[in-house]
């Protein structure tokens, strides 16, 4: 579906904007035809077989043909317009946001006057901008939308490997402490190794620092997860609950008050330092007799020298 526009300086042609590539359109139309001619007889015969148990065979055959025709037409139509549906899916958040804003403004204009509309705009825009958590959440959501489109640009520009040029299906994106995480369903002709070889290019296209690609499913290698990292989360101050366990009255201990360890290397450790001290002998009281040694039990055999 190429679309050309004329204009600019001197009325020259400004360029061509292609929404759906021609190979992708031809491939979808060819697949839709195959689906139609396969589903029509299969669904028709199955439907006629089921209906023949209750209706007349001729009537069941006619009904089965019509049912198969309807099912084949619907499925093939979905296959044919799938590239358009995929484009609508890519722009679904923006379309929904624009529709909500326009609908809300029209509804507000029908029930309020201009001062109330201006006040509502100030509240909707100013309150999130004044509250840091809300502002951070909005900025993170905007970056998620931007990242989805930048990844689509990556697949369109330098990761296409099949002959039709169909792009993978980019699912949702969520914010992370260091950037965004996007889930992608790869199409035939593309593997995770292809993404690993182009992670530096993906990071540049997404205006990020680094990019990491991993599998998102243990049973399906086509479902992958792409992490876009824009900042280092370890540079921010970290809080720990262990500080609450310290007594507020405990005096601080400086570094110079702590003993400096010595003899850390094994060659520097002497034998005297590792030899444990001898235990002192236990004194025997004068009123206590030393323990009498227990005599050895008599052997049942008087002559045991033969066994030794």
Question: Positive or negative, the Cα torsion across 146, 151, 155, 159?
Answer: positive
Q: Are residues 145 and 177 in the same domain?
A: yes
Q: Name the residue among 2, 45, 43, 3 with its Cα closest to residue 25.
A: 2
What are the pLDDT digits (tens) for 142-159?
999 999 999 988 988 888
Q: Are residues 99 and 140 in the same domain?
A: no
CATH code for the domain of 210:
3.30.980.40
Domain final position from 201, 233, 265: 233
Predicted local distance difference test score (pLDDT) of residue 261: 59
For residue 182, is it within any domain? Answer: yes
Distance CA 232, CA 150 (A): 21
- Token duo for residue 213: 């690609």
**Could you say which of 172, 207, 233 is where a domain stops?**
233
Residue 83 exposed, middle or buried by CB count within 10 Å (0-12, 13-18, 19+): buried
Final residue of a structural domain among 86, 104, 120: 86
Q: How far apart are CA 148 and CA 192, in angstroms?
A: 18
Domains in the chain, number = 3
Q: Is residue 296 part of a domain?
A: no
Examine residue 238 and state whether it is found in any structural domain, yes or no. Answer: no
CA gap 254, 245 in Å, rounded: 19
Considering the domain architecture, whether residues 50 and 69 belong to the same structural domain is answered as yes
pLDDT at 8: 43
pLDDT value at residue 215:
92
Residue 257 lies in a domain: no
Instruction: Please state, in angstroms and rounded to a whole number, the distance separating the CA atoms of residues 31 and 36.
Output: 9
Q: Are residues 207 and 227 in the same domain?
A: yes
pLDDT for the residue 117: 83
281 in a structural domain:
no
Q: Supply the range of the domain harboring residue 76.
A: 2-86
DSSP string, 182-242: EEEEPPTT--HHHHHTTHHHHHHHTT-SEEEEEES-SS-TTEEEEEEE-S-GGGSPPP-GG
pLDDT at res. 308: 45
Beta-ladder partners of 214: 225
Same domain, 168 and 223: yes
Whether 258 is in a domain gets the answer no
Say yes or no: 196 and 145 in one domain. Answer: yes
CB burial class (10 A; 0-12, 13-18, 19+) of residue 167? buried
Does 248 fall in a domain? no
Angle at the Cα of 88 from the Cα atoms of 85 and 94, rounded to 5 degrees: 165
Identify whether 124 is part of a domain. yes
Q: Are 208 and 230 in contact (CB under 8 A)?
A: yes
The predicted structure's pLDDT at residue 168:
87
Q: What is the pLDDT of residue 158?
A: 84
- Residues of the chain below pLDDT 70: 1-19, 161-163, 165, 233-238, 252-308
């Amino acid at each position: 579906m190429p679309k050309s526009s004329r204009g600019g300086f001197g009325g020259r042609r400004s360029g061509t904007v292609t929404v759906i590539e021609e190979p992708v359109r031809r491939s979808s139309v060819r697949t839709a035809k195959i689906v139609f001619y396969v589903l029509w007889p299969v669904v028709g015969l199955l439907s006629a077989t089921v209906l023949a148990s209750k209706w007349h065979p001729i009537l069941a055959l006619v009904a089965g043909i019509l049912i198969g025709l309807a099912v084949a037409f619907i499925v093939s139509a979905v296959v044919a317009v799938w590239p358009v549906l995929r484009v609508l899916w890519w722009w679904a958040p923006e379309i929904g946001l624009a529709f909500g804003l326009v609908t809300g403004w029209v509804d507000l204009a029908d029930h309020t006057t201009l001062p109330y509309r201006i006040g509502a705009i100030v509240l909707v825009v100013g309150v999130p901008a004044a509250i840091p958590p809300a502002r951070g959440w909005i900025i993170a959501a905007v970056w998620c939308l931007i990242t989805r489109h930048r990844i689509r640009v990556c697949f369109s520009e330098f990761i296409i490997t099949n002959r039709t040029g169909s792009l993978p299906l980019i699912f949702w994106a969520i914010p992370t402490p260091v950037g965004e995480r996007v889930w992608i369903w790869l199409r035939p002709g593309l593997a995770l190794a292809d993404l690993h070889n182009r992670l530096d290019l993906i990071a540049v296209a997404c205006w990020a620092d680094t990019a990491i690609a991993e599998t998102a499913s243990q049973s399906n290698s086509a479902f992958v997860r792409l992490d876009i990292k824009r900042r280092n989360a370890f540079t921010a101050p970290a809080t720990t609950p262990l500080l609450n366990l310290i007594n507020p009255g405990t005096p601080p201990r400086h570094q110079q008050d702590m003993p400096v360890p010595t003899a850390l290397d094994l060659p520097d450790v002497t034998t005297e330092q590792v030899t444990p001290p001898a235990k002192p002998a236990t004194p025997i009281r004068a009123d206590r007799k030393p323990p009498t040694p227990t005599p050895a039990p008599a052997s049942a055999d008087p002559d045991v020298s033969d066994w030794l």
